[in-house]
Amino acid sequence: MKITPWEVSGDIDYQKLIKEFGVSKLDDKILSRIKKHTKDLHFMLRRKIFFAHRDMNWLLDEYEKGNKFFLYTGRAPSGPIHIGHLMPWVFTKWLQDKFNVELWFQFPDEEKFLFNKKMTFDDAEKYLNENMLDVIALGFNHKKTHFLVDTQHAGLMYKHACRVAKKITLSTVKASFGFTDSMNIGIIFYTSMQAVPAFLPSVLKGKNIPCLIPLAVDQDPHFRVARDVYPKLDYYKPAIIHGMFLPPLEGVTGKMGTTGTQTAIFTTDTPSEVKKKINKYAFSGGRDTVEEHRKKGGNPDIDVSFQYLKFLFEPDDEKLKEIYNKYKSGEMLTSELKEILIKKINVFLKEHQKKREKAKSQIDKFMFRD
Amino acid sequence: MKITPWEVSGDIDYQKLIKEFGVSKLDDKILSRIKKHTKDLHFMLRRKIFFAHRDMNWLLDEYEKGNKFFLYTGRAPSGPIHIGHLMPWVFTKWLQDKFNVELWFQFPDEEKFLFNKKMTFDDAEKYLNENMLDVIALGFNHKKTHFLVDTQHAGLMYKHACRVAKKITLSTVKASFGFTDSMNIGIIFYTSMQAVPAFLPSVLKGKNIPCLIPLAVDQDPHFRVARDVYPKLDYYKPAIIHGMFLPPLEGVTGKMGTTGTQTAIFTTDTPSEVKKKINKYAFSGGRDTVEEHRKKGGNPDIDVSFQYLKFLFEPDDEKLKEIYNKYKSGEMLTSELKEILIKKINVFLKEHQKKREKAKSQIDKFMFRD
C-alpha cells in the first residue's frame, strides 16, 4: 500500500497505517468521551470509519475546561466532487453542529496546479467554484464557516506560511513526502500553506485556540511535519481525526478517484448515470449464479454496494445489519442490494443538487473577509 | 571572490564576473544608443559603474518601436539604509525621469526573515518602513512608482509566484544558489516571489510589456534562473543593467555592509558621525608621511574617499579629474580629500534627511493598490 497526500494505492491496511503513521486508534473510551458532549455518535464514529486520531484527549480536556476548539478541513480543487470526497465533510458538518464551533475550510487552489503538469490556474478556478457549491450544499452554517482560497487569501496567509517554512528543512520534506531534486520549488513550499489555517484563527483573535482537523488519512503527513513546528511558533498542535477512504467502484482497494469518470459517482450525476455506474461497475461480493448465491450466500465485506451503504448512505445500524445478514445468507441478491444503494444515492443526490443550485448565490457569504 | 544574493566577499573582479555570469559588457555602442534618448549620460554610465547588461539592445529596439518598458528594482528590508544602497536607486530615478516610465519597487520583507535565523517579522516591518522613507526621499514620482511588499501584496503575487515556481526545479536552485538540504523550504521558494514584478504589470495590463531591471550585480542569479521561465509563461525576458558595489569604508574589496555600524555611512547619520567615520575608517591611498605624499603622490584608485566621490558624490567629471590628478601628484593630501568628501556627503544627507522626514506622510501614495 502507498498512502501520501498525492497517491493512494494498493490494499489499504488501516491497522498497519496506525502504526506506520504513529497515530492512535479511536477507541471506545474516546468515543464515549465524545458522546458525553454530542449525546449521540455519528455512524462514521460508531462504525469506526473515522478510525484514528492525534491528541483527541487533549482536545476534549481543553473543551471541558471551556476552551472551545475550531474545525479545519479542506479541498484542493482538481476535478468534480464525487461521493468519496463528501465523507469527511459530512462528518465535519456533524461536528460543527454538535459542538457549535467555527469551521475554517481551505481551498488550496495552487496545490494540484503545482503537482499536475497539465493543470492550469483556469482549471483550478473552474473546479474551485464547482467544489464550493458541493461544500455549501452539505448545509454548513455560513455564520460559522469561513472559506480560505490560497491564491485569494495569500495576503493573509503567505506571511504565516513563511513563519512555518522557516522551521522546515528541505531534508524534512524530502523524508516526509518522498520529494526529489526534480520536483518544482512550489511543491516543496506548499506544505507551509496547508499548515496555516490550523493557527490562523489564533493569529486573528490574538489568543491560542485549539484546533481539530477531520481529514482522510492520506493528508496526515502534512500535519506530521507541521505539528513539530506549531509549538515553536507558540501555537497548540492541532488534534486530528482520521477517516478511511470510500473504496472505488471496482473494488475495495485504493480510494475513489476521478481519473476515469466512469469509476466515480459524481455529485452532479443524473439518476440514470448513477444506476448505470452502480449496475455496471460496482464490484460485487455475490456468487457467479443466482443458484450458487442462494445456496452459499454473498460476501458483503468485499461488496462495494454494501460498503457504500455502510460508509455513507445507510445511517441506521439496524437496517444496515439486516441488509448485511440477508446478503450474507443469500436471501438478498446482488441486483437487489444494488437497487437499494441506487435508490439511496439518487434520493441523496436529488436533494444535494437542489441545494447545490441554491449555493450558487451563497459563495460570497462563506468567503472569509479580513 | 564570492558573489551571491546573500554573500559578497573577496576581491571583486568585475571583468571576470562578466564571463562567469554570462552577461555582456555595457560598451560605448550601447551607451550611445541610450544617449540618443536621454540626451546626456548619467555619470554612473559614463564611469561604467553600471558596467554590464542583459538584452539592452532588445530593450532599446522595442523602445524605438514605441514599445515602452517599465523599471523594476527592490530592497529586502534587513537593516538601515547606507549610501551603498542608494547607488542603484539614484540611477533608477534617472532612468525613470529620462525615459518617463513606470517603476515597480519591490520590498521582499520575507527574504531576510527567511535567511537570517534571528530576524523576526517585527524587525522586517520596522526596517520596511524606514527603508521606504529613503526610497521616497530620492524623489521618485509617486504617480509612476508602485511599492510592492511581498507579505502585504501576496494576494496579488503568490499565484504568479506559483506559476514561476512550477517551472523551477529544486536541482536548478541548488545549482544556482548553492542551496543544500539543510536550508528551509521558504528560502527554496523565495526566488519565485522575486521573479514576479518583472511581469506583474503585463498581467495587470493584459499585454506584454518590456521590463528593465537596474540592480547590483549580486542579484543577477535570481534573474538568471527566472529568465529561463518567463518565455514559458509567454512573457518577455526582462533586460538587466548591472551595477558595481560601493566599496566598504575599510577598503576596496567586498561591498558596504551593515554588520558593524561603524563601517557604513547611514542615511540618518549626523554630520559629526559622517566626519568621524570618514576620518577614522576610510581606507586611504595616501603615503605614510606628508613629506613622502608630497614627493611620490597618493593612489586615488585604492582610496575609498576618492571612490565615493567617483561612485556617488561628484557627478562632475572635470572636477573629479582634477581631484584625481591633484591627489595622484601629491598636491592634495588625504585629509584634504576626506574633507571634500565629508562636505559632499553632509550636504547630500542634510537634504536627504529633510526629504526623509517629509516622506513619512507619503508612503500611502506609493503603495500599490489593486
Give the mean model confidence (pLDDT) for residues B297-310: 96
Strand partners, B265: none
Predicted pLDDT of residue A2 = 84
- CB-count exposure of residue B251 (10 Å: 0-12, 13-18, 19+): middle
Residue A68 phi/psi, 5° resolution? -65, 145
What is the per-residue burial (b if ≥16 Cβ within 10 Å, else e) of A156-184? bbbbbbbbbbbbbbbebbbebbebeeebb
| Pick among A162, A189, A368 to test the B interface (most B CBs inside 10 A) | A162
| pLDDT (0 to 100) of residue B262 | 56
Q: Do B159 and A186 make contact, defined as CB atoms within 8 angstroms?
A: no
pLDDT for residue A84 is more than 60: yes
Q: Mean pLDDT across the stretch A25-40?
A: 97
Which residues sit opposite A243 in a β-bridge? Answer: A50, A216
**SS3 annotation, chain B:** CEEECCEEECCCCHHHHHHHHCCEECCHHHHHHHHHHHCCCCHHHHCCCEEEEECHHHHHHHHHCCCCCEEEEECCCCCCCEHHHHHHHHHHHHHHHHHCCCEEEEECCCHHHHHCCCCCHHHHHHHHHHHHHHHHHCCCCCCCEEEEECCCCHHHHHHHHHHHHCCCEHHHHHHHHCCCCCCEHHHHHHHHHHHHHHCHHHHHHCCCCCEEEEEEHHHHHHHHHHHHHHHHHCCCCCEEEEECCCCCCCCCCCCCCCCCHHHCCECCCCHHHHHHHHHHHCCCCCCCCHHHHHHHCCCCCCCHHHHHHHHHHCCCHHHHHHHHHHHHHCCCCHHHHHHHHHHHHHHHHHHHHHHHHHHCCCHHHHECCC
In terms of phi and psi (left: phi > 0; alpha: psi -120 to 50; beta: otherwise), the region of B209 is beta
Residue in chain A closest to B114 (alpha carbons) equals A166
Q: Return the axis-axis angle of helices A170-177 and A220-229, rounded to nearest 10°.
A: 150
Which of B155, B169, B179 has its CB closest to that of A154?
B155
Could you tell me how many residues make up chain B? Answer: 370
Band of pLDDT at residue A262, cut at 50, 70 and 90 = low
Chain A residue closest in CA terms to B151: A159
Check whether A94 has a pLDDT greater than 70: yes
Of B152, B181, B192, the CB nearest to A186: B192
- For position B4, what pLDDT does the model report? 87
Per-residue pLDDT tens over the stretch B176-223: 999 999 999 999 999 999 999 999 999 999 999 999 999 999 999 999
User: Is B189 in contact with A158 (Cβ distance < 8 A)?
Assistant: no
Average pLDDT of the segment spanning A190-215: 98
Chain A hits for B169, Cβ within 8 Å: 181-185
Residue A65: Cβ-neighbour burial (10 angstroms; 0-12, 13-18, 19+): exposed
Element (H, E) at A213: strand A211-216
Q: Are A97 and A275 in contact (CB under 8 A)?
A: no
Q: B161: which chain A residues are within 8 Å (Cβ-Cβ)?
A: 186
Model pLDDT for residues B74-91, shown as the tens digit of each residue = 999 999 999 999 999 999
Query: Which residue type does B290 have?
Result: V
Among the partner-chain residues B154, B165, B184, the one whose CB lies closest to the CB of A166 is B184
Report whether B108 contacts B153 (CB < 8 A).
Answer: no
Closest alpha carbon to B327 in B269, B283, B267, B286: B286
How high is the pLDDT of residue A16?
94
pLDDT of residue A37: 97
B109 → chain A, closest CA residue: A159
| The pLDDT of residue A261 is above 60 | no
Phi, psi of A275 (to 5 degrees): -60, -45
Give first-to-last CA distance, chain A, whole Å.
42
Contact B168 A181 (CB under 8 A): no
Q: Provide the 8-state DSSP code for A6.
A: T
pLDDT band for position B11 (cuts 50, 70, 90) = confident
Other beta carbons within 10 angstroms of residue B264's beta carbon come to 23
What percentage of chain B exceeds 90 in pLDDT? 92
Q: What is the maximum span of chain B, computed from C-alpha positions, in angstroms?
A: 68
Cell 472569509 locates to A368
**Pairwise CB contact (< 8 Å): B191 & A181:** no
Gap between the Cα atoms of A126 and A147, Å rounded: 16
- How many CB atoms lie under 10 A from the CB of residue A219? 21
Q: If you average pLDDT over residues B134-141, what whole number do you get?
A: 97
Q: Is the pLDDT of residue A239 over 70?
A: yes
Chain A residues in contact with chain B using a Cβ-Cβ cutoff of 8 Å: 110, 113-114, 121, 150-159, 161-163, 165-171, 173-174, 179-186, 188-189, 191-192
Q: Which three cell numbers stand for residue B94?
A: 534617472
pLDDT confidence tier of residue B254, bands split at 50, 70 and 90: low
Helices (H), A39-120: 43-46, 56-64, 83-99, 111-115
Confidence band for B258, pLDDT divided at 50, 70 and 90: low
Nearest to A191 by CA among A149, A234, A226, A236: A226
Question: Has the ipTM of the complex gone over 0.90?
Answer: yes
Kindly tell me if the per-residue pLDDT of B260 is higher than 70.
no
Q: List chain B residues with CB under 8 Å of A149.
A: none
Pairs of residues, one from chain A and one from chain B, whose beta carbons lie less than 8 Å apart: 120
Whether pLDDT at A95 is above 70: yes
**Predicted pLDDT at B10:** 80
Q: Looking at the predicted structure, is the pLDDT value of residue B253 above 80?
A: no
Please give the share of chain A, as a percent, with pLDDT higher than 90.
92
Instruction: Indicate which of B170, B233, B369 best probes the interface with A, i.e. most A CBs within 10 Å of its own CB.
Output: B170
**Beta strand ranges found along A232-325 (DSSP E):** 239-243
Q: Which of A7-11, A351-355, B187-191, B225-229 has the lowest mean pLDDT?
A: A7-11
pLDDT band at B250 (very low <50, low <70, confident <90, very high): confident
CA distance B176 to B313: 35
Please give the grid coordinates belonging to residue A342.
441506487
Mean pLDDT score of chain A: 95
Grid coordinates representing B233? 509563461
CB contact under 8 A, B153 and A155: yes
